[in-house]
Amino acid sequence: MDNTTLTEQTAAEASQALKGLSAAVNEILFGQETLIETVILALLAGGHLLLEGLPGLGKTELVRTFSKTLDLDTKRVQFTPDLLPGDITGNPMLQEKDGQRTFVFQEGPVFTNLLLADEINRASPKTQSALLEAMQERRVTVMGTTYALPFPFFVFATQNPIELEGTYPLPEAQLDRFLFKLNVYSASKETLEKIITARTLGQEPVVRKSMTGEQLARISQLTNKVFLPEIVKSYIARLVHATYPNESTAAKVIKFGASPRAAIGLASAARARALLEGRIHASVDDVRMAAPHVLGHRIIINYQDRMEGVTPESFIAKLIAEINPEEAELPKSLSAAKIK
């Protein structure tokens, strides 16, 4: 596969490979097709993921399955209140060699391709912030020395929405580093039946390898070449701008809107989805699909409206309904019709 140019053929090949990846993960995780597809989008866009859900819903299993099927180096850190930044980034160790004592940097678990940060909100803010540089700049600085992280590098963090005692909510700056925040929901009755049939307690499922890390990196590079038409750029800009307080009817409930990083993330996610579907250009539909995952954790809703039941999901649904792809509005006597 040529990784320098993006043609309709290479896009189709990439799409085929990604569908293979999706199928391999779906063989292990049942009833999570949308979640798996969104995780693949995050991998293509080179973004980090924050998974939120109750214990036992398969968050860790999802990450482990991806690491196995992609043949990526994976490390897992269980975040606890006594975890120190050095426990993540690594520490300089005093070593004696040839009669001389020197500090040798001992790499922490962050030096991996896929880092699973389990229950990230249980660590102290100091430890949480140790991940900031790693996530944004893909490097770590310890005692004045900067160390580059391996490529690709992804952080898949999980957090539990209950049992909030003794937890430290992630600061906004930290949240902004995550491309997507995904909610993991309980399985349906049919899915549970499948799980019971296929899995036995204490037995690890066998994961089929579908793609190498290099292949993923090449496809990820192709993602950056997906064309973003003017209308899509304009739509992303208007959508993000409309999250600012009082910039749209929907944004009356907003205290703080999404950052420019959100716009960049939205564009990357739209590109990734286009490639996943074998297209060489992104569309407004791609933006609409990615918007809830990209914007949801980047906006802050007024306290009063939050108490009245306004959620990020409901706000974004209203926003998408309000902002038209075309800049011009339609008269009241007309509404957009779509062939299904």
Partner 1 sequence: MPPSTETEQIWMRHARWTAWGANLFWWMQRYLPLFLAWNLISAVGVIYARQQRWPQDVIIWSYIGGAVVLALIALGLAWKRFLTQRDGLIRLEEHLGLKSALSAAREGIIAWPPLPAERSAPFNFNWGPIATPISASAILLIVGCLIPVDKADAKVAITNPEQPIAWEELEAWVEELEENDVVEEVALEELKEKLNELRQQPAEQWFTQSSLEAGDNLRDQTQQDLQKLAQEMMNASAMMDAMRQVGNEPFSEQAKALDAEFAKSLQKMQLGTMPIDGELMEMLKKMGDCQACSGIDPSKYKLVKGKLDKNGKLVAMMAKLDPEDLEEMLLIAGQCMMPGNGGIDRGPGAAPLTANATESRVKPGKLEAVSNDDLRNASLGDTIAIQDRAPDENEAGEAFTITNTSGAASLGEGGDVVWKNELSPEERQLLENYFQ
* Contact residues for partner 1, defined by CB under 8 A: 8, 227, 229-232, 277, 279-286, 325-340
Quote the CA–CA distance of 340 and 90 in Å, as a whole number. 53
Indicate the residue among 191 and 324 with the shorter CB distance to partner 1. Answer: 324
Smallest distance from partner 1 to CB 12, Å = 13
Indicate the residue among 73 and 285 with the shorter CB distance to partner 1. Answer: 285
Quote the CA–CA distance of 254 and 315 in Å, as a whole number. 9
Smallest distance from partner 1 to CB 272, Å = 14
Indicate the residue among 157 and 228 with the shorter CB distance to partner 1. Answer: 228
Q: Is 332 exposed, middle or buried (0-12, 13-18, 19+ CB in 10 A)?
A: exposed
Smallest distance from partner 1 to CB 192, Å = 34
Indicate the residue among 8 and 172 with the shorter CB distance to partner 1. Answer: 8
Indicate the residue among 82 and 329 with the shorter CB distance to partner 1. Answer: 329
What contacts 68, CB < 8 A, 6 or more positions away? 74, 207, 209
Q: Are 288 and 301 contacting, i.e. CB atoms less than 8 angstroms apart? A: no
Q: Are 151 and 217 contacting, i.e. CB atoms less than 8 angstroms apart? A: yes
Helix (H, G, I), strand (E, B) or coil at 281: strand
**Dihedral (C-alpha) 34, 337, 8, 3: value to the nearest 10 degrees?**
-50
Structure tokens at 308: 């009245």
Smallest distance from partner 1 to CB 236, Å = 12
Smallest distance from partner 1 to CB 276, Å = 12
